[in-house]
Amino acid sequence: MTLTVEHATLPVLGRLPAHSSRTEQIAHIAEAAKQIRIQDLKLVHYAGAGHIGGDYSAIDILATLYGAVLDISPATVDDPERDRFILSKGHVAGALYTTLAAFGFLPVEELATFLKPLSALNGHPNRTKVAGVEANTGPLGHGLPIAVGHALSAKLDVSMRRTYVLVGDGELQEGSNWEAMMAASQYQLDRLTVIVDRNRLQQGATTKETNDLDPLPEKAAAFGFAVVEVNGHDHGELLDVLSAVPFRPGKPTFVIAHTHKGHPISFMSNNVAWHHRVPDDAEFAQALKELS
């Protein structure tokens, strides 16, 4: 099986016109999420590698951010005043590339190079090679400190630009996140939003069995964050929360997005086996059917 340009068929959705209604925005995000999932499934199936479980738990969040929240477009990808999105869980690079392509940051045909020799589309994102990538993540626990640094730069500039960072829940076992959260609180970075992809699964087991994060809301609140919990697959809830930050002046926001790895595919959802398993032909056909 080889990934070819015939498998890169994602329609470019772009941005909605300004002042679109909430209903229009939600429909737009839903369509983007659906198309991104279909394309991402093809990438993983034909490339024979990837992290589809984590991709699928994060795609609704990515589609909401790029579809209706972030003040960034292909034309402003180098604008100093753009909003920043940092993907800390860098292993879901496939979902990020597909999202960037859906919104016009990356040529759709380029997706066909995913993981191939000398491709810009490495298994983890590289800011020096892909427009729209803000940091070379992959090792866990790096995105949140970088986001704090960016939010500090915006504060020094007296700028209204916002910083969003998506972290995995298992990733929060890395101590560097908590160092960064203390600093975010100390510096009152209320234009910083941490989104946790709370799928409750890590590589080989549940977070609870491994090194339990709960009570996560209380922990984040104790570190000085305004904490909000949402259904991480509900586009309306995500849109309302992510576009409404900050919730408390002077406090950074901690959004716990409850998700399922592999959502919404029946045989993948909430199944730890799908951390980086690759769907075979039958599974591919079944997943495609469920998404269409």
Partner 1 sequence: MTVTDRPSIADQPRYDCRDAYVETLAQLAEADHRIVGVVNDSVGSSKLNSFRKAFPDRLINVGIAEQDMVGVASGLANGGRIPFVSAASCFLTARALEQIKADVAYSNTNVKLCGMSPGVAYGELGPTHHSVEDIAWLRAIDGIRIIVPADPIETAAALRWAAASEGPVFIRVSRMSVPKVYSDDYEFRLGKAITVRDGNDVTVISNGTVLWRALAAAERLAEEGISTRVLSMPTVKPLDTDAVVAAARETAGIVTAEEAVTAGGLGGAVAETVVQHHPARVSILGFPEFAPTGSAGYLLDRYGLSPEGIADAARKLVMTGK
Task: Give me the residues that bind partner 1 (CB under 8 A), please.
Answer: 80, 84, 86, 126-128, 134-139, 141-142, 144-154, 156-157, 163, 175-176, 179-180, 182-183, 186-187
Q: Measure the CA dihedral 164/169/171/174, to 10°.
A: 100
CB-nearer residue toward partner 1: 176 or 286: 176
CB-nearer residue toward partner 1: 126 or 286: 126
Compute the chain's Rg from CA coordinates: 18
CB-nearer residue toward partner 1: 58 or 147: 147
Q: Is the peptide bond before 139 cis (omega within 30 degrees of 0)?
A: no
What are the phi and psi torsion angles at 197 (to 5°)? -80, 90
CB-nearer residue toward partner 1: 76 or 186: 186
The least CB distance from residue 38 to partner 1, in Å, is 31
d(CA 247, CA 244): 7
Are 57 and 197 spatial neighbours (Cβ–Cβ below 8 Å)? yes
The least CB distance from residue 85 to partner 1, in Å, is 11
Neighbours of 267 (CB within 10 A): 13
The least CB distance from residue 180 to partner 1, in Å, is 5
According to DSSP, the residues that pair with 235 across neighbouring strands are none
The least CB distance from residue 193 to partner 1, in Å, is 14
